[in-house]
């Protein structure tokens, strides 16, 4: 069982284990050793103030292990995945904690094919990390990150634009919320080029990172912010990214939030209409709403559910040959176009669907009738198996029995934070809230901070 890697890399509070200097240096050494002889590693990061020293320490470990390191600087996670594969790097590493607060950071690793590492590989790297730590390998006192190659960002923007040839803003006004994160370095250039011929307007917001304002009252964690800005500017739609821009959420022209489930629906129907939806199948997760499943079924589309985490969605997509998959949170994967969730790519493809349809975003998702759903996050001090805690197990069983075929109960630990997530979905909102609160209270009583 992995101890360092979660569902999206290694994550924690910057400066504390497992993101203390000794462990970061050991991670660099272990990764370099795993990659073989003279590997080349591409490094990127989001806008957190801890990014620079983590990059420097990680680079020192990688170089000590025999690797050479190139930096793309502040750039999105999917950009590193794309550049790693297309430029022939042995691995790509992103220093980011995605949607977490600024005090946190993380280390994500992509293989030479641009895909996130398999669990077995992460476990093997973990074993080496612990061996290095046991040997008390000391990181150098003074290190600095490698120089930044700005050409990498330009290559990524060209890739994005090539995915939607001929697309323009088509006279529309859109609002783009960069979450004061990695999208801040890419989105302004991308949308300026998209609107090079004029006729539209892209209002870029929250693109002034200061190292501590990433995800702060903005971005995909707070989609109501961009929704309100759409209304204020009388815009056609809004786009909002998380800290490393591997996911995106949207707002329609009325200021209603359009989440990943809705994006999956309209993308699936568009691909199906063009004969590009392999096996008429979409892969979602256990968190996707039953309303999505029903809407897809009306269009003759099967929905499969994977474990939460875009890497697990992708695994099931590959296993079943599906061309589309994603998460309610906004990670959307189009196989053949990307190897991971890419918020900027998703945004362009959605704009393209809206343009070709001649309809508004609200019209395209109008028949998605969602079941009432609530998610309660409970901070926990440890992640004990919930089925082994009698009070919690009893509360979960009671919810499952009463809701039966009229709802769903999904209880899981976050793979990136010290949280237990209680998700209840039901036709009856009072029942939904009752069972969510009951289960959350039981977890809080046994494991709460």
Instruction: List active site positions.
Output: 98
As given in the structure block, the two tokens for residue 138 are 């000391």
Residue among 259, 292, 281, 25 at smallest CA distance from 132:
25
Alpha helix ranges (H) inside 138-218: 151-163, 187-194
Tell me the CA distances in angstroms from 315 to 7, 20, 123, 341, 350, one per residue in order: 13, 31, 17, 13, 23
Tell me the CA distances in angstroms from 207 to 35, 216, 219, 296, 446, one per residue in order: 35, 12, 10, 36, 41
Specify the 3-state DSSP secondary structure of 61.
helix
Extract the runs of DSSP E, i.e. beta strands, from 58-209.
68-74, 91-95, 104-110, 173-177, 201-205
Residue entry with tokens 């600087």: 73
What whole-number distance in Å separates Cα of residue 179 and Cα of residue 156? 19
DSSP 117: P
Cα distance between the two ends of the chain: 24
As given in the structure block, the two tokens for residue 289 are 């709403």
For the stretch 225-264, what's the b/e string if a residue is b when 16 or more beta carbons lie within 10 angstroms of its beta carbon? bbbebbeeeebbbbbbbbbbbbbbbbbbbebbebbbbbbb
Tell me the CA distances in angstroms from 284 to 213, 214, 292, one per residue in order: 31, 27, 9
What whole-number distance in Å separates Cα of residue 422 and Cα of residue 274? 38
Q: What are phi and psi of 293, to 5 degrees?
A: -60, -40
């Amino acid at each position: 069982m992995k101890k360092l890697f979660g569902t999206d890399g290694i994550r924690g509070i910057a400066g504390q284990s497992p993101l203390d200097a000794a462990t970061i240096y050991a991670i660099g050494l272990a990764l370099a050793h795993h990659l073989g002889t003279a590997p080349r590693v591409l490094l990127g990061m989001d806008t957190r103030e801890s990014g620079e020293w983590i990059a420097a320490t990680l680079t020192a470990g990688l170089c000590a292990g025999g690797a050479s390191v190139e930096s793309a600087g502040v750039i999105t996670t999917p950009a590193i995945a794309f550049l790693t594969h297309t430029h022939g790097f042995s691995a790509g590493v992103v220093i980011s904690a995605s949607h977490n607060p600024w005090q946190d950071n993380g280390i994500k690793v992509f293989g030479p094919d641009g895909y996130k590492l398999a669990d077995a590989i992460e476990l093997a790297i973990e074993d080496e990390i612990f061996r290095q730590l046991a040997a008390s390998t000391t990181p150098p006192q003074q290190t600095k990150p490698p120089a930044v190659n700005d050409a990498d960002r330009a290559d990524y923007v060209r890739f994005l634009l090539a995915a939607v040839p001929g697309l323009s803003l088509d006279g529309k006004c859109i609002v783009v919320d960069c979450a004061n994160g990695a999208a801040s370095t890419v989105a302004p250039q991308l949308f300026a080029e998209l609107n090079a011929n004029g006729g539209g307007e892209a209002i870029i917001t929250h693109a002034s990172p200061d190292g501590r304002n990433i995800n702060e009252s903005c971005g995909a964690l707070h989609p109501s912010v961009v929704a309100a800005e759409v209304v204020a500017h009388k815009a056609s739609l809004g786009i909002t990214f998380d800290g490393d821009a591997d996911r995106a959420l949207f707002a329609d022209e009325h200021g209603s939030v359009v989440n990943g489930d809705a994006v999956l629906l309209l993308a699936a129907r568009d691909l199906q209409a063009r004969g590009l939806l392999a096996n008429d199948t979409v892969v979602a997760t256990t968190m996707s709403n039953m309303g999505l499943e029903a809407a897809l079924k009306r269009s003759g589309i099967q929905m499969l559910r994977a474990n939460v985490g875009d890497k697990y969605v992708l695994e099931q997509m590959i296993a079943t040959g599906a061309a589309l998959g994603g998460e309610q949170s906004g990670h959307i994967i189009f196989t053949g176009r990307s190897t991971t969730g890419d918020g900027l790519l998703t945004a362009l493809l959605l704009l393209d669907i809206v343009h070709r349809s001649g309809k508004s975003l609200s019209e395209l998702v109008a028949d998605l009738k969602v079941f009432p759903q609530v998610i309660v996050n409970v901070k926990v001090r440890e992640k004990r198996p919930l089925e082994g805690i009698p009070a919690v197990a009893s509360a979960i069983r009671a919810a499952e029995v009463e809701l039966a075929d009229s709802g769903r109960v999904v209880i899981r630990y976050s793979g990136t934070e010290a949280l237990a997530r209680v998700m209840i979905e039901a036709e009856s909102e009072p029942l939904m809230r009752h069972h969510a609160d009951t289960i959350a209270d039981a977890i809080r009583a046994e494991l709460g901070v």
